[in-house]
Amino acid sequence: MNDYARGPLSGLRVIEAGVLLAGPFCGQILGDLGADVIKLEEPGKGDPMREWGRERPYGKSLWFPVVGRNKRSVTLNLRVPEGQEVLRRLVADSDVFVENFRPGTLERWGVGPDVLWEINPRLVIVRVSAYGQSGPYAGRAGYGSIGEAMGGIRYTTGDPDSLPSRVGISIGDSLAGTFAAVGAMGALRVAEATGRGQIVDSAIYESVLALMESLIPEYALGGYIRERTGSILPNIAPSNVYVAAGGDMVVIAANQDTVFRRLAETMAQPELATDPRFATHTARGRHQCELDELIAAWSVKFTADELLELLHGNGVPAGRIFTAKEMLSDPHYVAREAIVRLDHPDFGEFPMQNVVPKLTATPGGIRGVGPELGQHTDEVLHDIGGFDGEEISRLRASGVV
């Protein structure tokens, strides 16, 4: 009986054959929740994420320890028949198989879903790609940036007077990985009940589209195309970034009528709440620029700390714009253990974001940073694949692992 000591997915085994971010982010989520995630990587090269990131002390990425956390690394060449046979033996006793190759790749290698289900009928197969496993674009090469463009978030992000902007993180890949993990957990529930696995088809562009609110009916029913609006939320006011004394930036969100009245009182300008230009939600939306100018003229008289003390004391939602510097020292982050620190063999103490969401009874956790390339090859092949020492040595000598 599983005691769920490592998290709600404790006892599940996941084989991850993805690279870069979309597939591996799905694996990261499942591992955070307790699954045993075995990451398959190309011998001698590994996941390109091992080389990505802005700073690389000691020649190593600061990104891979995060996306590779809670995983065991096995080197395996899936392009050769011997490597494909190893995969078949590993999935025989696994619950989930995650891949993010271009659609059709597994089938060319002779390890498509039908083959894997003959070995393990209850296997959940998670397939993450730019465009999905079907449709006229399925065979195209694609990265997260293309899915973000096609899904709508690129067009709506940035300043209206400039080209569409990137969000600042690999949001398309991460969303596809997140929805893939949600789909995997849903499919696992069905597999437990029926003994049959299924395909979880997570497309980057559709994962982005899923977050686009009412963008589709706005155009289909009203002929309106949502445009880039910079820092404001159109017709929702006040909800913007305001500068405090010294240049610090604070977000103030007081668009609800009752909250705006509290903001007006905090500003010592209670008459704003009854001013016809600002008295209702609709009126504030029409006079958004005027209202922002009034608040900006007030906010700059105070330091950020003074401003936040006033706003919080009067029940007005507000907050600093954080960088990593603030996150590492903020008392709320500390109290919630939003950032954890682990040991890294090269970097020593290594801080990273904690598991989300928090489960009270079976919270999961981070058991270790991303492993060295091939660190667990021998133990996984022996313990799970049933390979003996002689077989493993032969696979290594031929470059399969």
Side chain identity, residue 27: G
Residue 195, phi then psi, degrees to nearest 5: 80, 10
Catalytic residue among 32, 36, 47, 173: 173
173 is catalytic: yes
Tally the residues of the chain.
401
* Token duo for residue 9: 């997915």
Instruction: From 304, 292, 218, select the one nearest 254 (Cα to Cα).
Output: 292
Check: CB of residue 109 under 8 Å from CB of residue 135: no
Q: In what order do the strands lie in the sheet with 249-253?
A: 239-243, 249-253, 318-320
From residue 235, how far is each of 45, 285, 297 by CA, in Å? Answer: 51, 4, 20
What is 255-320 written as a DSSP string?
Answer: -SHHHHHHHHHHTT-GGGGTSTTTSSHHHHHHTHHHHHHHHHHHHTTS-HHHHHHHHHHTT--EEE
Check: CB of residue 95 under 8 Å from CB of residue 14: yes
Rounded Cα–Cα distance for residues 230 and 247 (Å): 19
Give me the active site residues, please. Answer: 173
